[in-house]
């Protein structure tokens, strides 16, 4: 059974894990009478493991970001964080094996990048970082509620449409950037198209959280090894970082048009 998250699908689809079948009759009574097993006893991932790994990675992002903010790291380190986060993110996303050290390194690079970038945005738009953080948390909580309540599910159709929208968004973003760089787009057209593209980015990133929630839930249900909780947490952090960047850009565009 494959994960609905296309980035993490290879780990879930190639390991060959399957849901538990019918237990032998002789073991049923012992199974029901046994105490609840934790991940330490079973070696299998639990939702608590996913929450803990996600919290660890986000904590590193926040700590490094706060250091970059308050210690006024030079702008040149922005590109170090950007390139480092991009490289480690791609390696981690397409790696067949779980790499906790790589995920921690990714979080540190992203913290460096986000800390410097957020401080720069704050200089031009005071209060924007607080607004972006609140909006990101609200989007996360909203998507989690929609998923847990069953209003949104990562069905094959939902996944296919979302992936198509993501590719279309990337192509439009690159196309608009190239057009402006080559002088093919006016500032007026950019001012009209920019907010629409930014809103689409926030929406797509938010809906990708549904795929991450589904991936984590499937991992627990299929009894994947405990180490896979690192991969699930890594996927969630990647989406959260993406969502924050899209929200930050949208608010900057809206406030720039005031």
Measured in residues, the chain has a length of 258
- On whether residue 4 sits in a domain, the answer given is no
pLDDT for 79 equals: 94
pLDDT at 144: 95
Residue 1, in any domain of the structure: no
Task: Tell me which long-range contacts 231-234 makes (C-beta under 8 A, separation of at least 24).
Answer: 231/8, 231/11, 231/98, 231/103, 232/8, 232/45, 232/50, 232/53, 232/54, 233/50, 233/52, 233/53, 233/54, 233/55, 233/56, 233/57, 233/103, 234/53, 234/57, 234/92, 234/103, 234/106
44: β partners: 225
pLDDT of residue 27: 43
Q: Give residue 47's pLDDT.
A: 94
Instruction: Label residue 87 left, alpha or beta by phi (over 0 means left) and psi (-120 to 50 means alpha).
Output: alpha
User: pLDDT in tens for each of the 258 residues of the chain?
Assistant: 444 454 555 455 444 433 333 434 444 344 334 444 445 556 899 999 999 999 999 999 999 999 999 999 999 999 999 999 999 999 999 999 999 999 999 999 999 999 999 999 999 999 999 999 999 999 999 999 999 999 999 999 999 999 999 998 888 777 666 665 565 444 434 455 678 888 999 999 999 999 999 999 999 999 999 999 999 999 999 999 999 999 999 999 888 765
Domain for residue 33, yes or no?
Answer: no
Alpha helices by DSSP H, the chain: 9-14, 25-33, 39-42, 47-70, 76-94, 100-124, 128-148, 156-181, 187-221, 228-256
Half-sphere exposure at residue 136, Cβ-oriented, CA atoms within 13 angstroms: 22
Task: State the Cα–Cα distance between residues 227 and 102, nearest whole angstrom.
Answer: 13
**Per-position DSSP letters for 75-103, written without gaps between them:** THHHHHHHHHHHHHHHHHHH-SS--HHHH
Calculate the alpha carbon distances from 4 to 80, 132, 166, 231 in Å. Answer: 32, 28, 15, 14
**Counting beta carbons within 10 angstroms of the beta carbon of residue 70, is it exposed (0 to 12), middle (13 to 18) or buried (19 or more)?**
exposed
- In this predicted model, what pLDDT tens digit does every residue of 119-168 receive, in sequence order? 999 999 999 999 999 999 999 999 999 999 999 999 999 999 999 999 98
Q: What angle do CA 13, 19, 25 make, to 5 degrees?
A: 155
Quote the pLDDT of residue 21.
39
Number of domains in the chain: 1
Domain of residue 141: give its range: 43-256
Structure tokens at 117: 């970038």
Task: State residue 22's pLDDT score.
Answer: 41
- Are the C-beta atoms of residues 130 and 241 closer than 8 Å to each other? no
- What tokens does 87 get? 């490289």
Q: Quick count: other Cβ atoms within 10 Å of Cβ 186?
A: 11
Q: Specify if 6 maps to a domain.
A: no
């Amino acid at each position: 059974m494959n994960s609905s998250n296309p980035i993490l699908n290879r780990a879930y689809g190639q390991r060959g894990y399957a849901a538990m079948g019918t237990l032998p009759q002789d073991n049923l009574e012992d199974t029901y009478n046994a105490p609840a097993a934790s991940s330490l006893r079973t070696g299998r991932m639990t939702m608590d493991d996913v929450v803990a790994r996600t919290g660890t990675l986000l904590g590193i992002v926040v700590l490094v970001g706060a250091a970059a903010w308050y210690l006024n790291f030079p702008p040149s380190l922005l590109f170090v964080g950007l390139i480092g986060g991009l490289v480690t993110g791609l390696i981690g996303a397409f790696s067949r094996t779980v790499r906790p050290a790589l995920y921690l390194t990714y979080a540190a690079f992203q913290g460096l990048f986000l800390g410097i970038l957020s401080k720069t945005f704050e200089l031009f738009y005071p209060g924007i970082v607080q607004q972006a953080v609140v909006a990101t948390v609200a989007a996360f909580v909203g998507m989690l509620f929609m998923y847990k309540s069953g209003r949104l599910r990562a069905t094959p159709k939902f996944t296919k449409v979302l992936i198509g929208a993501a590719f279309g968004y990337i192509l439009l973003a690159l196309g608009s950037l190239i057009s402006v760089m080559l002088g093919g787009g006016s500032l007026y057209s950019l001012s009209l198209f920019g907010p629409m593209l930014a809103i689409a980015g926030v929406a797509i990133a938010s809906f990708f959280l549904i795929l991450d929630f589904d991936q984590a839930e499937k991992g627990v249900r299929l009894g994947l090894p405990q180490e896979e909780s690192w991969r699930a947490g890594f996927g969630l952090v990647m989406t959260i970082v993406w969502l924050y960047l899209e929200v930050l850009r949208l608010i900057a565009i809206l406030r720039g048009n005031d």
